[in-house]
Amino acid sequence: MSEGPGWVLPVDKPEGPTSHDVVARARRALGTRRVGHTGTLDPFASGLLLLCVERATRLAEYLTGLDKRYEATAVLGVSTDTDDREGAVTAETDAWRRLSGADVEEALRALEGEQEQVPPQYSAKKVAGEAMHRRARRGEQVRLEPVRVRVHELLPLEMDLPRVRFSVHCSSGTYVRAIARDLGAALGVGGHLVALRRTAVGAFRVEQAVPAHDLDDGAAVARARLSPLEAVAHLPRVELDDPAVADRLRQGQRVRWSEWPGDGSVAIVSEGGLLAIGALEDGVLRPRKVLA
């Protein structure tokens, strides 16, 4: 199904398969090896994966850093070594019975904002070039440095203590498992994550996605897929109307450009499509990733 500069496909991953399993299924269904995802979901989690297909795999770095939205459920009073339901129980208490809904809401509010978050021991975070989950499974305990993240919004959706369902709007790189862990720690009872669904990546919502089991359905895929230009709609645009300038950029050459204030990554558009991702620096437009 190769087509020009490729495309981006929002997929709704079910619980169970890994993100790599979904990529493998997409490769078979779409008839191409050039498929990659832009942000891992744990096997027990479901929700939105953005798959980059063919030449659009070159856009992955501009999608990975987008904000994420989730709906999640934590259980208070039980801690696990993975901070989720997949791990072994490390501590358990019924002290959650003294908690009120107001206590939980206050603790959730306190976890909003910019913060230093310690990644889970069982995570894809790399230490000395190796993913932490591999080292943790060998019994190693490594002191992980906290990572700067931002939790824009953390809202309670439903409480049936010790279960707490909540929504999260956060920066890329935020571990929702760690939020469940830190919520339990703040309340003095421990906690872990038992359900997670990613509902949005940037402006893209899971309702737009094709279910993973429908990847063989050509019509469903065609309805869901995004053009490269649609996929990077969050980037500022430089519109070209001079074919000679477009040809120079297509060949990897830089051009003088004075019509755009400021510096940073831009989507370079020619003839209604995405020609390249470029960088505008000191009045010079440099192509970084040429698609067309």
Instruction: Say if residue 169 is in the same domain as residue 52.
Output: no
Instruction: Say if residue 102 is in the same domain as residue 171.
Output: yes
3-state secondary structure of 199: strand
User: Does residue 72 sit within a domain?
Assistant: yes
What is residue 283's predicted lDDT score, i.e. its pLDDT? 84
Structure-block tokens of residue 33: 């090896």
CB 41 within 8 A of CB 71: no
Instruction: Say if residue 60 is in the same domain as residue 72.
Output: no
pTM value surpassing 0.85: yes
Residue 26's H or E segment, with its range, is: helix 19-30
What is residue 3's predicted lDDT score, i.e. its pLDDT? 47
Any alpha helices (H) in 72-188, and if so which ranges? 101-110, 132-137, 176-186
Instruction: Say if residue 102 is in the same domain as residue 214.
Output: no
The CA–CA distances, whole Å, from 15 to 21, 39, 143, 183 equal 11, 16, 30, 24
Weakest-pLDDT range from 72-76, 143-147, 173-177: 143-147
Q: Which of 269, 232, 285, 270 is nearest to 60 (CA)?
A: 232
User: Does residue 11 sit within a domain?
Assistant: yes
Any alpha helices (H) in 138-252, and if so which ranges? 176-186, 218-224, 228-231, 243-250
pLDDT, the chain, mean: 91
Q: Which of 234, 276, 283 is nearest to 262 (CA)?
A: 283
CB 8 within 8 A of CB 228: yes
User: Does residue 1 sit within a domain?
Assistant: no
Structure-block tokens of residue 66: 């987008």
Weakest-pLDDT range from 8-12, 87-91, 125-129: 125-129
Number of domains in the chain: 3
Instruction: Say if residue 250 is in the same domain as residue 162.
Output: no
Instruction: Say if residue 99 is in the same domain as residue 143.
Output: yes
Active site residue 42: yes
What is residue 275's predicted lDDT score, i.e. its pLDDT? 96
User: Does residue 241 sit within a domain?
Assistant: yes
What is residue 258's predicted lDDT score, i.e. its pLDDT? 81
Residue appearing with tokens 């003088």: 256
Instruction: Say if residue 194 is in the same domain as residue 121.
Output: yes
pLDDT tens per residue, range 156-206: 999 999 999 999 999 999 999 999 999 999 999 999 999 999 999 999 999
Higher-confidence position of 81 and 212 = 212
What is residue 194's predicted lDDT score, i.e. its pLDDT? 98
Higher-confidence position of 138 and 185 = 185
For the chain, percent of residues with pLDDT exceeding 70: 90
Structure-block tokens of residue 146: 């906290």
- Please tell me which residue in 12, 42, 84, 182 is annotated as part of the active site: 42
The CA–CA distances, whole Å, from 244 to 77, 107, 250 equal 66, 58, 10
pLDDT tens per residue, range 205-256: 999 999 999 999 999 999 999 999 999 999 999 999 999 999 999 999 999 9
Q: Which domain holds residue 218?
A: 7-66+203-228
Task: Look up residue 109 and give its amino acid.
Answer: R
Instruction: Say if residue 214 is in the same domain as residue 143.
Output: no
pLDDT band at 2 (very low <50, low <70, confident <90, very high): very low
CATH number at residue 172: 3.30.2350.10
What is residue 120's predicted lDDT score, i.e. its pLDDT? 84
Instruction: Say if residue 184 is in the same domain as residue 207.
Output: no
CB 154 within 8 A of CB 71: no
Instruction: Say if residue 37 is in the same domain as residue 54.
Output: yes
User: Does residue 2 sit within a domain?
Assistant: no
Distance CA 156, CA 169 (A): 12
Instruction: Count Cβ atoms below 10 Å from residue 91 Cβ, excluding itself.
Output: 12
Phi, psi for 78 (deg, rounded to 5): -135, 125
